[in-house]
Amino acid sequence: MIVLALDSATSRGSLALRRDGEAVAAAILPEGGQGDALALHVEALLAGAGIRMRELGLLAATIGPGRFTGLRAGLAFMRGLSLALGIPVAGVTTLAALRAGYACAPGEAPLACVDSRRAEFFFQLGAGGAPFACRASDLPARIAPGTRVVAVGERAEEAAAALAEAGRVARAVPRLVDAADVAALAEAMPMPERPPAPLYIHPPATTAPRATRRAGR
């Protein structure tokens, strides 16, 4: 089976192809490449790997948490492609993708970190923890004393520094979400029965349209 994966929810978008458990090709999206030009980048990746669109068996996309505009555009594109090709699309969280790309030392708990572009970060402690948002300075109150933490992800140094200042054992592994990890996670998941929904920690920052004035007023 050939998997096409996309991350468009974080600061560096990426694409990846995986065939029968092996990485085939990957590409970093240029700034702004998560929007209208996404189809062109997918076509270029497939052509470079010698793979035709109809050979794809599974699509995968990050569902958040992350940057609202890129997340929404990427999911819409992959859902449209899923309908056009008649194949499923799997959803993978950005936090799971960060965790999957790094192996912790024994006794360490991975703290996945995604920059929210606000004062807060998006975090998840371990595989079973619920995603949450908070400032780095508030992290010590969210993590049990005695937990040895390795912060993995965007601006991980700030999270580790905040924990260290509170007397916790913590270190940082800066890394970005990689679509290759998204593809590997999706390949190992049960085949999805329905399209994925976005994962928002905060409600999308949108503004309701103003009511239209009636004619003559």
Taking only the tens place, the pLDDT of each residue in 6-45 is 999 998 999 999 999 999 999 999 876 556 689 999 999 9
Three-class DSSP category at 98: helix
pLDDT score recorded for residue 214: 44
Report the predicted TM-score, pTM, of the whole model to 2 decimal places.
0.89
The 10 Å Cβ neighbour count of residue 197 is: 10
Mean pLDDT score of the chain: 90
204 burial level (CB within 10 Å; 0-12, 13-18, 19+) = exposed
Per-residue confidence band for 203, with pLDDT thresholds at 50, 70 and 90: low
pLDDT > 90? residue 83: yes
Q: Which domains does the chain have, with CATH numbers?
A: 2-94+177-188 (3.30.420.40), 102-174 (3.30.420)
pLDDT score recorded for residue 171: 96
Q: Determine which of 10-14, 47-51, 178-182 has the lowest per-residue pLDDT on average.
A: 10-14
Residue closest to 156 by CA, chosen among 166, 170, 146:
170
Q: Which runs of E-coded beta strand occur in 22-116? A: 22-28, 58-62, 89-92, 108-115
Q: What count of Cα atoms within 13 Å lies in the side-chain half-sphere of residue 33? A: 19
pLDDT score recorded for residue 102: 86
Using one digit for the tens of pLDDT, what is the confidence trace for 182-197? Answer: 999 999 999 998 999 9
pLDDT score recorded for residue 148: 96
